[in-house]
């Protein structure tokens, strides 16, 4: 940390910012002039001017990279052909064929990876929703120390995910992590579990970590949904002599389902694409606990198979897209888009 570094970073950032501002200044001026002088629709100029930064930014930094990704999937770009890749339709078919038929990395093929990713997503979202709803129901009732519990339970959501991931990784250490310390004290040395070296236990470790990290979000969403349920319904049910179980399954759950649907959808997408937890808990010691997105990262940046990884990424995207569409159709989530 020195004056030199600070000066260097500030000058670099200053130049970047200046360039961005100048570029947008020019764009805004052009839009203004085109609307006013050419189209004679000055009242629409503002809409265009307000939207321009977002449209240009998203186009340059999301759309263009995605198009480039598509182009890459038609190439043989890798470490040896980084500067001079060849492009062609045959490369595309080769890449796609490789995704489905050969090993993605060194051990796992595509289908086991997909199965593992779906299993991971299903386990996680189920736990998040069930535990989140259970805690929210308790927090929504009359209970002592409510605010204290809520404050504690929300902590894992507040923690930076990198710190949570690295910390849990440390706690799965076979000697000094608290899991094995506790197991050894309770049941003797033989009870210690090889969290970091055994494929199955590493997958369990991944799941434990992500349940801890993900429940608070769903709990808070459920709590928000529960507070929107009018108490008249419960009063009417109580008059009819409905018990607590009946009320939960006949009133509460049907009423909060539509509110939860978009959040569950987000949960599915986030979990499917969750990179941090599988990456940190495993840190490349085992291929067996990879999910699709960590395998993709390694195909690209450990093995430098850029063309192949691009094709693999497209396959992953379309699988997730398919899952999302089916989910939306089934639940009617996100009907409100566009109004």
Partner 1 sequence: MKKNSTPLIQQDTLIESIIKQIVMIVFSVVTIFPILRIISVSLRPGDRLLSTSLRIIPLDATWDNYITLISNGKFFLWIWNSAIITLITAVIGLSIAAFSAYAVSRWKFRGRSALLLFLLGTQMIPAAMLIIPLFIIATKLSLVNTYSGIILAYSVQAVPFSIWILKGYYDTIPRSLEEAAEIDGAPKMYIFFKIILPLTLPALAVAFLFNFMSSWNEFMLASIMLRKSTMHPWTLGLRDLQGQYQTAWGQYSAGSVLISIPVVFLFYKSSRFLVSGLTMGSVKE
Count of residues near partner 1 by CB under 8 A: 111
- Binding segment toward partner 1, per CB under 8 A, in 97-105, 106-114, 121-129, 173-181: 173-181
Joined tokens for residue 336: 């409100």
65 vs 88, beta carbon nearer partner 1: 65
Does 32 bind partner 1 (CB under 8 A)? Our answer is: no
Dist. CA 167–CA 159, nearest whole Å:
11
Does 7 bind partner 1 (CB under 8 A)? Our answer is: no
Mask 131-160, x = binds partner 1 (CB under 8 A)?
---xx--x--xxxxx---x-xxxxxxxxxx
206 vs 225, beta carbon nearer partner 1: 225
Does 327 bind partner 1 (CB under 8 A)? Our answer is: no
- Binding residue (CB under 8 A) for partner 1 from 31, 110, 169, 207: 169
CB of 300 to partner 1, least distance (A): 5
Does 336 bind partner 1 (CB under 8 A)? Our answer is: yes
55 vs 119, beta carbon nearer partner 1: 55
3-state secondary structure labels for all residues of the chain = CCHHHHHHHHHHHHHHHHHHHHHHHHHHHHHHHHHHHHCCCHHHHHHHHHHHHHHHHHHHHHHHHHHHHHHHCCECCCCCCCCCCCECHHHHHHHHHHHHHCECCCCCEHHHHHHHHHHHHHHHHHHHHHHHHHHHHHHCCCCCCHHHHHHHHCHHHHCCHHHHHHHHHHHCCCCCCHHHHHHHHHHCHHHCCCCCCCHHHHHHHHHHHHHHHHHHHHHHHHHHHHHCCCHHHHHHHHHCCCCHHHHHHHHHHHHHHHHHHHHHHHHHHHHHCCCHHHHHHHCCCCCCCCCHHHHHHHHHHCCCCHHHHHHHHHHHHHHHHHHHHHHHHHHCCCCCCCC
Segment 267 to 286, residues that bind partner 1, using CB under 8 A? 269, 272-273, 275-276, 279, 283
Does 27 bind partner 1 (CB under 8 A)? Our answer is: no
Dist. CA 339–CA 61, nearest whole Å:
26
Segment 94 to 133, residues that bind partner 1, using CB under 8 A? none
Joined tokens for residue 290: 């990879």
- Binding segment toward partner 1, per CB under 8 A, in 33-41, 61-69, 104-112, 121-129: 61-69
- Binding residue (CB under 8 A) for partner 1 from 38, 89, 190, 337: 337
- Binding residue (CB under 8 A) for partner 1 from 90, 102, 126, 167: 167
Does 18 bind partner 1 (CB under 8 A)? Our answer is: no
Does 65 bind partner 1 (CB under 8 A)? Our answer is: yes
Does 194 bind partner 1 (CB under 8 A)? Our answer is: no
Segment 231 to 260, residues that bind partner 1, using CB under 8 A? 231-232, 234-235, 238-239, 258-259
164 vs 252, beta carbon nearer partner 1: 164
Does 178 bind partner 1 (CB under 8 A)? Our answer is: yes
Is residue 323 within 8 A of residue 117, CB to CB? The reply is: no
Does 198 bind partner 1 (CB under 8 A)? Our answer is: no
């Amino acid at each position: 940390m020195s004056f030199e570094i600070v000066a260097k970073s500030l000058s670099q950032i200053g130049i970047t910012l200046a360039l961005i501002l100048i570029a947008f200044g020019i764009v805004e001026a052009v839009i203004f002039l085109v609307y006013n002088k050419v189209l004679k629709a000055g009242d629409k100029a503002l809409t265009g001017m307000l939207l321009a930064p977002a449209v240009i930014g998203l186009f340059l930094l999301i759309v263009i990279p995605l198009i480039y990704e598509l182009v890459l999937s038609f190439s043989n770009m890798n470490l040896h052909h980084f500067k001079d890749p060849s492009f062609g339709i045959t490369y595309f078919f080769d890449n796609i064929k490789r995704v489905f038929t050969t090993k993605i990395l060194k051990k796992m093929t595509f289908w086991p990876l997909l199965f593992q990713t779906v299993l991971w997503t299903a386990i996680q979202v189920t736990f998040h929703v069930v535990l989140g709803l259970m805690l929210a129901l308790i927090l929504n009732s009359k209970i002592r120390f409510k605010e204290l519990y809520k404050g504690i339970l929300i902590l894992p959501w507040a923690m930076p995910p990198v710190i949570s991931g690295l910390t849990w990784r440390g706690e799965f250490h076979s000697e000094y992590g608290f899991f094995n310390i506790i197991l050894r004290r309770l049941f003797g040395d033989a009870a210690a579990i090889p969290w970091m070296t055994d494929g199955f236990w590493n997958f369990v470790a991944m799941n434990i970590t992500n349940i801890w990290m993900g429940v608070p979000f769903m709990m808070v969403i459920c709590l928000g949904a529960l507070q929107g349920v009018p108490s008249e319904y419960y009063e009417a049910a109580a008059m009819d002599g409905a018990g607590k179980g009946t009320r939960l399954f006949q009133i509460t759950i049907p009423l909060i389902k539509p509110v939860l649907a978009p959040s569950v959808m987000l949960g599915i997408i986030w979990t499917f694409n969750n990179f941090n937890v599988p990456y940190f808990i495993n840190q490349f010691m085992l291929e067996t606990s990879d999910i699709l997105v960590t395998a993709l990262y390694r195909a690209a940046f450990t093995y430098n198979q850029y063309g192949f990884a691009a094709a693999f990424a497209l396959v992953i995207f379309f699988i997730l897209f398919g899952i999302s569409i089916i989910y939306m159709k089934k639940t009617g989530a996100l009907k409100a888009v566009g109004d």
